[in-house]
């Protein structure tokens, strides 16, 4: 099945995506430098012909970057609202934080769960 070609084999160990998530959660709300777009662990075209390099580049550099930018903006507004002791704005920002923060986390995990065939991708899941 073509959709399975790019899936990384399960090793049973904690995935780097899960480690990214844990790292992300530990830093949530405490970072002064904001969140950044993670590098992909492979080249944009590495998953071809299953996923085109053009789609990977668009999805990573535009789509995922938009979540990171939106999340940083929302977190900055949250920080400001906290400093102004503005509970109404704090509550209003929650959906923006969940949407953009969730998009950032989901995409960070997604990239780590794909792999080129030469790096262990391409086999059906085990177990
Ligand atoms: Fe996406």
**Residue pLDDT, tens place only, 48-75:** 999 999 999 999 999 999 999 999 999 9
Whole-number Å distance, alpha carbon 87 to ligand 1 midpoint, is: 31
pLDDT classification of 3: cutoffs 50, 70, 90: very low
Whole-number Å distance, alpha carbon 92 to ligand 1 midpoint, is: 24
Higher pLDDT, 85 or 32: 85
**In angstroms, rounded to a whole number, what is the distance separating the alpha carbons of residues 16 and 112?**
6
Number of neighbours of residue 76 by Cβ within 10 angstroms: 11
* pTM of the model as a whole: 0.75
Whole-number Å distance, alpha carbon 13 to ligand 1 midpoint, is: 25
Whole-number Å distance, alpha carbon 78 to ligand 1 midpoint, is: 25
Going from the C-alpha of 42 to that of each of 24, 57, 91, 113, 117, the distances in angstroms are 21, 11, 39, 11, 11
Count the alpha carbons within 13 Å of 67 in the hemisphere toward its beta carbon.
19
Q: Is the pLDDT of residue 47 over 70?
A: yes
């Amino acid at each position: 099945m073509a959709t399975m070609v790019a899936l990384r084999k399960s090793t049973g160990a904690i995935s780097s995506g899960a480690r990214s998530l844990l790292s992300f959660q530990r830093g949530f709300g405490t970072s002064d430098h904001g969140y950044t777009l993670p590098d992909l662990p492979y080249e944009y075209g590495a998953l071809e012909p299953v996923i085109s390099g053009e789609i990977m580049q668009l999805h990573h550099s535009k789509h995922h970057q938009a979540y990171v930018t939106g999340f940083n903006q929302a977190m900055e507004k949250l920080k400001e609202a906290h400093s102004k002791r503005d509970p109404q704005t704090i509550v209003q920002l929650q959906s923006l934080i969940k949407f953009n923060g969730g998009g950032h986390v989901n995409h960070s995990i997604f990239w780590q769960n794909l792999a080129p065939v030469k790096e262990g991708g391409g086999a059906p899941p085990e177990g």
